[in-house]
Amino acid sequence: MKHVESKEMFEEVIKDGNVVVMFSADWCPDCRVLDPVLPGIVADFPEFTFYYADRDKLIDLCGELDIFGIPSFLAYKDGKEVDRFVSKDRKTRTEIESFLQTALDK
């Protein structure tokens, strides 16, 4: 998964195609629970390009996007947000896959 390093990079990567940005942090236990399943999720949804955004490095962007809990996922199509899975709750593989399928259908 590629890393978003700045707000400018974020704005650039979401411009074209189907993109999912996962907002997370290294210290977040609910985020780390996803580490073993993320490669499989990425492989199962080749329609998306996936990016990792460190919430602590991009705290201002998170505020602008109303992301106050992690892990959180935002889906974009050609620069337009089409869906979001944003909360402070732990997420399961099934929930993430359902979110991604819904985003694809939009």
Quickly list DSSP for 26-91.
Answer: TT-HHHHTTTTTHHHHHHH-TTSEEEEEETTTTHHHHHHTT--SSSEEEEEETTEEEEEE--SS--
Distance CA 43, CA 40 (A): 5
31 catalytic residue (yes or no):
yes
Whether 28 sits among the annotated catalytic residues: the reply is yes
Question: Which candidate in 4, 28, 38, 67 is catalytic?
Answer: 28
Tokens, residue 43: 């492989």
Query: Choosing from 31, 58, 65, 103, which is the catalytic residue?
Result: 31
Which residues are catalytically annotated? Answer: 28, 31
